[in-house]
Each structure stands twice: as C-alpha cells, then as structure tokens.
A and B are shown apart, each in its own frame.
Chain A
Amino acid sequence: MNNNSLSVEEILESKRLLNRKKRLLLLFTLPLLVFIFITFISPIATMLYRSVYHPTVSQLIPLSLAELKNWDEAGDALPPSAALQQFAIELQDLSKQRLSGKLAEEVNRLKPGSSSLIKSSARKLKKTTLEELQENGDSVLLSYSKKWHNIDLWRAVKRAGQPFTDSYYLTTFDLKRNPAGEIEQRDTQIYLKLYWKSLKIAIYITLLTALLAYPLAYYLATAPSKIANRLMVLVLLPFWTSLLVRTTSWIAILQTNGVLNSSLQSLGLIDEPFELLYTQAATIIAMTHILLPFMILPLYSVMKNIDPSYLRAALSLGARPIPAFIKIYLPMTVPGVSAGALLVFIISIGYYITPAIVGGTDGQMISNIIAFHMQSSNNWELAAALGSLLLALIIALYWIYDRLVGVNNIKLG
C-alpha cells in the first residue's frame, strides 16, 4: 500500500531541493539587502551613535581630563594647578598640530565665548617653551586672560570631555544639566516648540490634501475611463516636474505683486496686496500642492475597486444619499484615506526644501533647524539627536496609528 508514498530519503531530498531554491531566492534579493544596509540602516545607526557618543575632546586632551577627574565641579574652586598645567601643555601641543580649533569649538558649544579665548591662548602658548610650561604652566595660562579664572569654563571643559553624553538629547528637549548635575530648563526654549509646530503644519497639510483629494479621486474613479485617464495625466504631471520648479513657481504666484495679488486687485476685491509669501500659510499652500498626488493615488486605486452597486443598493433600499455615503461608501474608502494620510503626514513632517524657500519666518519646520546645525553651526551631534528624535516621533505616531486604525487597513492599490 505504500507504493505511492515517498521514502524517507526522498522526503529529505525534496526538502533539500526546496531549501536550495529558497537560498537561491535569497541570493537574488541580496543586492537589495546590501543596498538597504549601506544606504539606509548604517546611516541611521551612525546617526543614533553619533548623538550619544562624542569622543573628540577626550581624544584631544586625555591627560588633562584625567587630572580633572577628581576636581569637584559643583564647588567654587578652580581645578588643581596640576590640571591647569597639564591643560596648558596639551593645548600647546594641539596648537602645534593645528587642532586647537577643534577643542575651542567643542568647549564653546557648552560655554559660548570661549572659542576665541582658547584659540588666542593656544597661539600664545605656541611661542612658549615646553620647559616653561612644565615649570609653571598654570600661572602662564591664567595670566593670558581673566576668563581662565571662570569656573564655568572649566566645568564646560570637563563636561565636553565625557565621551558618552545625554546632553544632546537634553538639548532637544530644551533642557540642560547645571553644575551640580541636576536637569533644568535651558535659557533658550526652541526645539520643543519647533517639533510642535512641524507636527501642526503636517496635520494641516494632511487634512487639506484629504479634503481636496477625496472628491477628485471620487470623480476620477467614477468618470468614464477616457476622461479619467486624461485627468490622471494632470494629477501625475507634477510628479514629472522638478520639485524646485514647483516650489519656486509658488513664489511667482504668492509674492506681493504676484499673480494672485494682482488678479485680486484688478478684480477690485482687495485694495492692499495680501502678505502671503514667506509665511506659514505659504508653506502650507505650497506643500499641500506638492503632496496632493500622494493622497489622490491611493484614494483613487481604492475607490476604483469599490463596486458601485453597493451604493446603488443602499439608495434603492431607501437610504438618503448622505447617510448612504457616510455609512456605505466612506467606510470602504478608509484604507485609501489611511494610506494617503500616513504618506502625506510622514513626508511632510520632515520636509525641508519648501519651507526653506517659501517659509520665511514663521513657516520654518524642525528640518530647517537640523540643516542649520549641519551646515552653519557644525553641531552634527545635536543635528543627529534632533534627527533621531524626529525618527522616534514618527515611529511613535505610526504605533498610535496602528493602534487606532490598524496598519493592515492600509491599501496603496
């Protein structure tokens, strides 16, 4: 009776074959996996690492930091003279290697104003001899400027020397540590406000795109395919135009004597031109336009697959049009709305180029300050911390969204 069933060897053999096929398939995806690792996972890992690990200062002045270790920074005495002397010697060495600027920048971040002090002292130290510094380096250093007598400066040096630090994350929450090590509010309150504002702008844009896209997608889905296809080209057209061109064209439209204002004025609707460009409104308008296709496309593909007979059935069974729409049609389009909203929201919260161009003062978002720290202030660690927090924020929102709507409910097509 067992003539037709497989022997143990045959089963093993077939399993082996199957596994080989699987491995082969994996091999095909390998280029993609490597690509994702190099271009996506490793940069994010580097960013996360960089936001907490910052060894620059501890590599520049290791011996001074060792001397400073036992100094009580909460007290009101200067560090011991051995530490000052060691610092003078190491600063002289850095000056010769032309690295004093690095130290200056790092310390300056914690104590603004110390950059020029460190650099000018380094220049002076270059001209002294090592013997002189070994003799009385502490008093030489202290004689250069009365700023070296400031205990806050030495606290900053010691704190900058910690290779692992939470200070960048504290800064992103507008917090800092005082000399005693307690967490308190920073003098400048900015980052939380900016996160909140970016969130608000992203929500406005998501709502606006949904309101604009829903009727259009409905029309596209129900219109005869000849018309729908032509209109679809208009929806896709912006995708084929450079983002920069689309954004700059909004400048032409919104500026004080631009298309919008001059047409309104010539129609006699307004006397004075509106102030639109370089405002939050401009950011929202331009970004809504740019992100609109991301809302229309998922909506359209979901609506296209909804059988119109459902709605007809509801109507023929006596439902009024509006309740029929709300009870029958709307729930069926939720997957499309979800997909569009999630796409638009996540893209817009970290958007950079449009707010930078048309945003002016009050249209700036968190990405613009990240760019500031990358490009102008060179505080890449803080930029990394801000970026990580943005990532965490998006993941958290995604999680909440999953809880409320369910990620399985998303449909892109």
Chain B
Amino acid sequence: MKRLLPVIALATACNVASADQLTAVSFGGAYGAAQQKHMLDPFMEETGHKILFENYSGGIAEIKAQVESGNILWDVIDVEVIDLERACSEGLLEVIDHDSLPPGDDGTPAAKDFSEAALANECGVGNIVWTVLYAFNNDTIKGGQPSSIADLFDTKKYPGKRALRKRPQVNLEWALIADGVPKEQVYEVLETDEGQARAFAKLATIADDIVWFDSWSQAPQLLNDGGAVMVQSANGRIFDAIQSEGKPFEMVWDAHLYDLDVWAIVKGTKKKDLAMEFIRFATGSKPLSGMPEVAYGPTRNSSYAYVDKAVIPKLPSSHLDEGLKASGDFWADYGESLGEKFNEWLLK
C-alpha cells in the first residue's frame, strides 16, 4: 500500500489537472501565435488552468461531427462569421450571455465598447476584424500601380498572372464590382441568375491569367516567387510579409471584403463555464490589443489605446468605408449552389 500511495496521489493530481484543461481551436500561423501570446498564455498564467491549442482550417464539418456523435473534443473555437451564422442556427454552438462580458479598460460597458457586428450573433463574441484584399509586388508589376478592383480585371494595362483563391466567395463579388455594380447592391444582384451569369462572364475575361490556389499560405509565396503579379490574400499574410520579411508588396484596399472572427463554445462541452471564463478574458481590451501585431483589428474600441499608432492605418478596421462586409447570410443561401456552378465553370 505504501508503494501504491504515490501512484494514487499522482493519478488524482492528473485528474484534477485534466478537469481544468480546456481545448481551444484556431487557425494557427502568425495569427495563432498572436493569440497564444496575448490570450492563452496570460490566461493560463492568471488562472492556473491549462489550455491545449489546436489548429483547424475553418468550416463547420468537424464541429458538426463532434456534436452529432456526442464526443466533444473542442471546447472553445475561433470561427469565421460566415460559418458562425450557420453553426449557431443548427444548434452546434452554445448561446453566450453577452451581458456577462466585462467592460473595457476605460470603463465603457461591453455592449458599447464592442463594435455592433462583434455581438450580432448570440453564439459568439467578436475577436478580430480581418479582410480579403489584393496585393501586388512592386518589383514585378508592369503598367504602374493598380489601385482598384477594376485594375485587377484589367489585364491589358496590368499584364501578368493574378492569383485568386479557388472558391466562389470574394471572386464573384469582385467580378460584379469590377463590372460596375455598386458595392451595396452586389449581393442583391448575385442572388439572380442573370447576376451570377454576369459575374462568371466577367471572371471569364481574365480566366487565362488566373492562377488558383487553395490556402492563404500560398498567397504571399506566389507573389514572392513570381507565380503571380497580383494576389488575393488575407490582409495579415501580406502585412506579415512586408513587416517581418521586408517584401516589396503593396496592399490595395478598394472593395476589400471584411469579416469578423469570433470566439464561440461548442455545444455540449462539459467545460462550458471555464470556456466562458476564457472568452471573457480573451476578449478583454488588453488581450485584443495584441491582434494588430498580425494586422487584424480588435473589435473593442478601448483596445486601440494600446495599439501602436503607426499600425492603425494598416488595419482593416481603418478602411471599412472602402470595403464591403462579406455576407454570411448570402453565402449560407448560395454557398453550395454557387460552389457547384463555380466548379462547373472551372471545368469549361
């Protein structure tokens, strides 16, 4: 028995530790590192709880599989708003009590401190504003500096390959805008068969000059190795390439499609309270203010007090007027049918 005691003690200790262990899931890369540094590490230090940090590539397939099988492996997840709407209304996420969020460091109550979109959905709390824009390489671009979405579609004036992510999202919106549809009417037009045909027709005008890629990590690489002279990219990737690697890239903010990432809780997790505690902490003014390190804008106004003034103009939140909010509703409606049409179009 004496020999067994330490074993038992160890086993109980493990049990206690695992009871306070949380699994958080996000997108990895520089963004994940920033979250680790500004949200997870301080939280673990302050509370003594342990957080396992895992990566995924978005979408709701894995969440759906976990909830349907009742085998919940993830507790807290970073979700794109485009998926949030769908996951929430399918009952895959817990409802979050927004009233329990702490006020900003300057005392502003949470409801006023957060941007409106950050608390628009009952299942999530806004984390960052990020955006999809296009960038060009100063060394390889010919014909001057492009400045608008129309320039992206102008292969005569700016010859060379354009790298776009292989999916209908963003590309169809940009095609319509380049074809002269006002930003605020884009989704209205894209709902109609004629509007969809028009978008594909516009895309077809540059089809021979498009290089398609699958993941955001390829975007800066294509721009760097000469695979393309302009690339569509998540803004953080380009910012990182300019900032930390000194690449001669330049971002074009015209008609960028911005969206939010939110923290949410997977339905049915046994650690809901701890998950909620983490979200309250992670969406506080200070942790959020670390996100601009990777060029994503914090969703709390009070966070900007901590942000380097030189960085602020490079955040999507400073360019909202030029941009367009990606519509989660629209893509929940037409994501699948346009996805099929897009693949059909690619096969032609």
Contact = CB atoms under 8 A, between A and B. Distances in A.
Contacts of A360: 166, 211-213
Nearest to A171: B340
Given A97-B91, A256-B227, A115 B333 contact: yes
A377 B336 contact: yes
Given A100-B89, A101-B86, A377-B336, A188 B226 contact: no
Interface residues of B, number: 39
A189 interface: yes
Contact of A376 (B161, B211, B333, B335): B335
A309 interface: no
A104 interface: yes
A108 B332 contact: yes
Interface in B81-105: 85-86, 88-91, 95
Contacts of B88: 98, 101
A142 interface: no
Contact of B91 (A99, A361, A374, A375): A99
B247 interface: no
Contacts of A98: 88-89, 91, 95
A28 B162 CA distance: 60
B138 interface: no
A190 interface: yes
A116 to B, nearest CB: 4
Contacts of B91: 97-99, 101-102
A119 interface: yes
A86 interface: no
B272 interface: no
A113 B344 contact: no
Contacts of A379: 336
Contact of B89 (A101, A189, A361): A101
B343 interface: yes
A355 B205 CA distance: 25
Contact of A277 (B227, B332, B344): B227
Interface string B316-348: 000000000000011011111111110110110
Nearest to A112: B337
Interface in A81-113: 97-102, 104-105, 108-109, 112-113
A364 interface: yes
B151 interface: no
Contact of B347 (A102, A112, A190, A357): A190
Main SS at interface, chain B: helix
B1 interface: no
Interface in A6-54: none
Nearest to B94: A98
A193 interface: yes
Contacts of B344: 188-190, 193
Contacts, number: 106
B123 to A, nearest CB: 9
A256 B225 contact: yes
B61 interface: yes
Given A361-B166, A361-B346, A378-B60, A116 B332 contact: yes
Contact of B336 (A112, A193, A256, A277): A112
A367 interface: no
Given A189-B344, A377-B336, A356 B214 contact: yes
Interface in A347-389: 356-357, 360-362, 364, 369, 372, 374-379
Contacts of A115: 329, 332-333
A374 B64 CA distance: 11
B192 to A, nearest CB: 10
Contact of A113 (B60, B191, B214): B191
A116 B329 contact: yes
A255 B90 contact: no
B341 A188 contact: yes
Contacts of B346: 361-362, 364
Contact of B225 (A100, A258, A356): A258
Given A112-B336, A189-B344, A362-B347, 5 more contacts: A105-B90, A116-B333, A190-B347, A255-B227, A356-B214
10 A-B pairs closest in CB distance: A101-B89, A101-B90, A112-B337, A377-B336, A98-B91, A190-B344, A257-B226, A116-B329, A115-B333, A375-B61
19 contacts: A97-B91, A101-B86, A102-B89, A104-B89, A104-B332, A108-B336, A112-B334, A116-B329, A116-B332, A116-B333, A188-B340, A194-B343, A277-B227, A278-B212, A364-B343, A372-B339, A377-B335, A378-B60, A378-B64
Interface of A: 97-102, 104-105, 108-109, 112-116, 119, 122, 188-190, 193-194, 197, 255-258, 277-278, 356-357, 360-362, 364, 369, 372, 374-379
